[in-house]
Amino acid sequence: MNAPAAGVRYASVVLDVDSTLTRVEGIEWLAERRGPRVAQAVAEMTQRAMEGGTPLDAVYGARLALVKPARSDVDALADAYSAGVVPGARLAIGEVQAAGIRVVAVSGGLRQAVARFAISLGIAGRDIYAVSLRFTADGEYAGFDETSPLARRGGKPIVVRGLGLARPIIGVGDGSTDAELKTMAGGDIPAVDAFAAFVGVASRPAVVAVADYVVHNMAELPALVLGTAVPARS
């Protein structure tokens, strides 16, 4: 019987959060908290953006303007993220870090919730990147960081390039903004050296199509990152 061929040992791992480390999609979860009408409107905006009818950049702020998440909503979202953690996430992150590999979280989600959740999984606060919200003194929604590349299409490659992570780098995520880490070369080398589509929560054919690897379960991640096994392409 042949042992699996050794793969590449990566020096850095870039992880998505929503639908990758947790089953929860933050903006949808917050919209549902506002009732069926807001949830429906937000779902339609997301759908229009996916179909290309509305630029994602415009949708990001429009969804938040509709949901207006207060500080208390974002705190509740952090709890929901934790309750929805995917099996094996904390263990996988710990194993990868124990091998001396840097793990960063890069998310288009809301920083106040993403950070609390990712820190609970053992990711360092300085290695967590997401979009900050502003609140009034009373804790009401007062806007988001519109300068963040993560609120726009093509933002993840910009952020990851800016981090100067040790190579080779592997990106892991479920969404089209994660796949851009590999596909948006922009005449330069891609922001990551390999991209793994995580399909344990949502499997998106367009994302899987451009992936170097497909990860079904977080328990598969350490062997992939450490180069001790090569998982099947799909």
Residue numbers at the binding site for Mg ion (CB under 5 A): 16, 18-20, 174-175
Count of beta carbons in the 10 Å neighbourhood of residue 132: 16
Place of tokens 């997401």: 130
User: Which three-class secondary structure state does DSSP give residue 111?
Assistant: helix
Q: Smallest distance, Å, CB 19 to Mg ion?
A: 4
The residue type found at 38 is V
Q: Smallest distance, Å, CB 4 to Mg ion?
A: 28
List the catalytic residue out of 16, 127, 174, 178.
16
Choice between 70 and 178, CB closer to Mg ion: 178
Q: Smallest distance, Å, CB 215 to Mg ion?
A: 13
Residue 16 is a catalytic residue:
yes
Distance of alpha carbon 200 from alpha carbon 174, whole angstroms:
9
Choice between 141 and 198, CB closer to Mg ion: 198
Which segments of the chain does DSSP mark as H helices, in order? 26-33, 36-50, 56-67, 71-83, 89-98, 111-120, 155-163, 176-183, 205-209, 221-226
Task: Indicate which residues carry an active-site annotation.
Answer: 16, 18
